[in-house]
Chain A
Amino acid sequence: MAKRKVTTSNRKLRPDLNCDLGFMQLRNPLLIASGTFGYGNEYAELVPLNKLGGFVSKGTTLKPRVGNPTPRIWETASGVLNAIGLQNPGLDVFMRHVLPGLKLKGCKLVVNVAGETEEEYVEMARRLNFAREVAALEVNISCPNVAAGGISFGLKPKAAGELLTKVVKATRKPVIAKLTPNTSSYVKVALAAQSAGCAAVSLTNTFLGMAINLATERPALANVRGGLSGPAIKPLALHQVYEVAAAVDIPVIGIGGISTGQDAVEFMLAGAAAIQVGTALMSDPRSPLRVIDGIKDYMKERGYHQLTDFIGKANPGYLRRRIKLEN
């Protein structure tokens, strides 16, 4: 990686934020994370899709799901616990009524799919094959808040590999595996996703946690346990991204507590080819646009012309692997 001199002329530098993941080209490296952006309509007035690299849909299941009892959300120090329970209208309603109305304006749509059984995942992958608007599937093997499916596929490399192999075979769409941080085998699960033919891995989903409501002396969430997100998990997620990026050859999409441009740059220096922003939207709907501007400012300051000038720079394992791949 050649060092470029930082000079005053860098202020005039117009960094190229185009993000080529191989299977998907994004106009910038920012996607909105699943579950925080609905199906893209809710935030239309505040977060114009034409500014985003892409967004990941709410986790969608084959059949409609009503979700968990309330309370479903609880604020913790610099974080949020949630246990929504995959409330969604089901794949049919999504494909018939939501997809046709979406005006993507160059924003790439990734559909997050979750199932209780392998068959459900495969069926969804097959049906989404025919949706032109869908750039890729993100396979949720990491939802901590449902009784069946979700995380149970993502904890062990073997189970993940078997499921993902079937999903990849069922569709021509690129498949991104969304990984859970709640296993010490996360690197092996990522490698299993790669062997299964996944185009990328995204990590991390939320960390399992809980809170107690002192007013009631009961667990704060009706579901007792939930997934922790927000700035509180950033160092934990960053570490897992760093480890996975040094181990796999497919792109890694970094997620976990990103709310500023600096946060995003940290994930990219750790080896993330793109990033997702989620919980930060709740604090401020303008955060995704600020993150994009922040990445741009960082590149100007450092004299970087394109993202690949700094992706993985802080991760020797990642850099060694890329050099090997190029030769």
Chain B
Amino acid sequence: MIIEDAKIVSNELFSPEYGLIGIATEKLGKDFKAGQFLQMEIPGRPDLVLRRPMSPLRIKKRKSGWLIEVLYKLCGAGTRHLAGLAPAQDISVLGPLGRGFRAPVKGGEAVLVAGGTGLGPIFMLAEKLCSKHKVSFYYGAKCAAEIHIRSEIEKLPAKIVLCTDDGSLGGKGVVTDILSKQLIKNGGNPCIYACGPVPMLKAVQKLAVAQGLKLQVSLEERMGCGMGACLSCAVKSADGGYRMVCKDGPVFNADEMVL
């Protein structure tokens, strides 16, 4: 775990709601597992005292250091301010934090499911798994304008299934309906990995239970420290207690949690 004063090198708005920010770091980026996250300061806004927890979409090695790319949704004062920041701006980042996705057994098949900003950690996972595993990649959004980095997704050596609620791109309907048909058709014993809105995760969990498949989900909750100390980001576990998104997760085995 490292805290680093890094620099924004790119910040592109895909739509009024989504942006992709690129952050150049010196050390932070090494040994970053897909599904782990970083805590990002909102620079220039000391009144926003909490950092924003975000999972990278991609981490590339640079000549010196790393380039961390994060897909974000503009949903509050912090992310709206972030969207207005220009390259060369300093930004403090802390990570890698939490537990990432666990790979399937050797040679095992993986089914990846992303919804909305859940694309970030799922895309990063896809890039890691594709070389060693058979991967199917399901990605759903409201409409074509909210399907991001499509050309790069389509370059992945994986089976790609895109869908939109309004049918403006790919299959029409929610991603889990399409996933359900395919899972039944394909059979096998894949591990499922999902990140997205809670209704999507619930639907995927239902499918996994029905088919007896293993499912890992990446969860979200309002977070404080990101270090497992303040105990803010609790999520309910199946044993009646709570787990911390920041330290026990954000990736959990779905059967151990109450979604």
Which of A's residues lie within 8 Å of B, judged by CB?
35-38, 42-43, 45-46, 58, 66-67, 70-75, 77-80, 82, 84, 87, 230-231, 279, 281-286
Contacts and interface: CB of A to CB of B under 8 A. Distances in A.
Contact of A67 (B225, B234, B240): B234
B222 A282 contact: no
A145 to B, nearest CB: 11
Contacts of B94: 46, 285
18 contacts: A36-B230, A45-B1, A46-B1, A66-B241, A67-B242, A70-B234, A71-B221, A72-B234, A73-B222, A73-B230, A73-B232, A74-B222, A79-B49, A80-B50, A80-B224, A282-B49, A284-B3, A284-B92
A67 B49 contact: no
Main SS of the interface on chain B? loop
Contacts of A36: 225, 229-230
A283 B51 contact: yes
B156 interface: no
B181 to A, nearest CB: 33
B192 interface: no
A84 B230 CA distance: 8
Interface residues of B, number: 30
A281 B223 CA distance: 13
Given A72-B234, A87-B242, A230-B49, 20 more contacts: A38-B228, A42-B228, A42-B247, A43-B227, A43-B229, A45-B1, A58-B229, A58-B231, A66-B242, A67-B242, A80-B224, A84-B231, A279-B49, A281-B229, A282-B226, A282-B230, A283-B46, A284-B3, A284-B41, A285-B227
B99 to A, nearest CB: 14
A37 B228 CA distance: 9
A67 B241 CA distance: 9
Contacts of A66: 240-242
Interface of B: 1, 3, 41, 46-51, 92, 94, 221-235, 240-242, 247
Contact of B229 (A42, A45, A79, A231): A42
Nearest to B240: A66
A75 B50 contact: yes
A82 B224 contact: yes
A73 B224 contact: yes
A77 B77 CA distance: 11
Contacts of B242: 66-67, 87
A318 B10 CA distance: 54
In the A-B complex, the 8 residue pairs with the closest CB atoms? A73-B232, A38-B229, A42-B229, A71-B222, A78-B47, A42-B227, A42-B228, A72-B232
Given A66-B242, A281-B225, A72 B231 contact: yes
Most buried by A among B41, B230, B242: B230
A282 B47 contact: no
B91 to A, nearest CB: 12
Contacts of B234: 67, 70, 72, 87
Contact of A70 (B51, B221, B228): B221
Nearest to B244: A87
Contact of A87 (B3, B92, B231, B247): B231
Contacts of B51: 282-283
Most chain A beta-carbon neighbours within 10 Å: one of B51, B222, B223, B247? B222
Nearest to B226: A282
A246 B227 CA distance: 38
Nearest to A87: B231
Nearest to A281: B225
A285 B3 contact: yes
Contacts of B46: 78, 231, 283
A20 B47 CA distance: 34
